[in-house]
Amino acid sequence: MSEVTPDLVRHLASLARILVTEEEVQKLTGELSVIVDSVASVNKAVSGDVAATSHPIPMSNVFREDIVLPSLTQAEALSAAPDSAEGRFKVPAILDEE
């Protein structure tokens, strides 16, 4: 059985700056107790020799190798742009800055 008490729930609610009614305190006390007990039972079931995993199936990197290939030159990339300046795409300003 967990040590979640109504006073603890009130304390946690005040730390989180959440207003709770007395009815909610009673409900949350029971719900949090179930959660804490469930986590404790899972911790008991796992022995120390089981490696932590993020996925139940072993996975490997599925990305292809990064290979540099010939690409457009700066002039070619900018040739189809509606507007460019100083070797860059020129777009309308979205901020009140210059």
> Is 78 domain-assigned?
no
The reply to whether the predicted model has a pTM over 0.85 is no
Residue 83 belongs to some domain of the structure? no
Domain assignment of residue 16, yes or no: yes
What confidence score (pLDDT) does residue 31 get? 95
What is the per-residue pLDDT for 2?
67
In a domain, 27, yes or no: yes
Query: Does some domain include residue 25?
Result: yes
Please report the pLDDT score of residue 35 as a whole number.
93
Residue 59 located in a structural domain: no
pLDDT of residue 1: 56
- Structural domain includes residue 91: no
Distance CA 82, CA 51 (A): 56
Which two structure tokens, joined as six digits, stand for 37?
């007990």
Q: At what angle do helices 22-45 and 6-15 cross, to 10 degrees?
A: 100
Residue 40 domain-assigned (yes or no):
yes
What is residue 97's predicted lDDT score, i.e. its pLDDT? Answer: 63
Give the range of the structural domain holding residue 19, as residue numbers without chain letter.
6-45
Question: Which domain CATH number covers 16?
Answer: 1.10.20
For each successive 10 residues of the chain (98 residues), what is the average pLDDT?
87 96 95 92 77 78 86 92 92 76
Q: How many structural domains does the chain have?
A: 1
